[in-house]
Amino acid sequence: MTTGVPGLTELWSRFENWLAEHAPGDYGSLRQGCPGGDIKRLEDGLGFSLHEDVRTTLELHNGVTIRRASTEPGAFLLGYSLLDVDGILEAHRDLVSMVEDAREEGEEDLVVGCIADTQWVPLAQNISGDLLFVDHRHHHSGEIGEMSFGDSEYRMLWPRMDLMLVDLCDSVETGAPVTSVPRVPALYEGRMLEWHIRPPQQVS
């Protein structure tokens, strides 16, 4: 843990407190924490142990209420909605299927570690099916990646979840852009958080 960076539970609390005050719809979409038995079921389904950041997050909140439309709250993570245990398992099965299909078709080099990997654990999903995930590969353990369908390769956004939350908290509290994406926060109808693509800087 980098000196000066608060713990993950404290950072989630900071972010949730901001949502409760400014985006009550998003705050209300958060579900209760996940019982230990469900976390064990998730690890059994994945076939490996969860990174502590994922475990901590699930213990705090087992995802959010499923969104049926873009005007419904719950997509406060850069437009992505936290997944519950069943959602993680379903999204991970899709990644595994992509890897298996690529291997059968001899396209492993174009897919594995680029747009899908069996060691990626989905954290959140947007309404189009794109994913934020926590990398569980040995040399990338704990990294936050973004996988968008149509892109030829994923993007590593943060080296750790605590740094992601520091950036998100700083952004919503000050209105500054999240520079790793880059997107800027905006409130919709005073009830939910949206993230708008930051326009390119004008060169004077």
Give tens-digit pLDDT for 132-171.
999 999 999 999 999 998 899 999 999 999 999 999 999 9
Nearest one of 63, 185, 49 to 124, comparing CA atoms: 63
Contact 91, 125 (CB under 8 A): yes
Q: What is the pTM of this model?
A: 0.92
Contact 61, 26 (CB under 8 A): no
For residue range 113-129, list pLDDT tens digits in order: 999 999 999 999 999 99
Percent of the chain residues past pLDDT 70, beyond the cut: 95
pLDDT of 27 above 80: yes
Structure token pair of residue 175: 């209105």
Q: How far is CA 104 from CA 13, 112, 196, in A?
A: 45, 12, 39
Residue 202's pLDDT is 46
Residue 204's pLDDT is 45
For residue range 51-100, list pLDDT tens digits in order: 999 999 999 999 999 888 889 999 999 999 999 999 999 999 999 999 99
Residue 5's pLDDT is 72
pLDDT of 199 above 80: no
Residue 2's pLDDT is 45
The Cβ of residue 54 has, within 10 Å, a number of other Cβ atoms equal to: 23
Name the more confident of 139 and 200. 139
Residue 169's pLDDT is 97
pLDDT of 42 above 50: yes
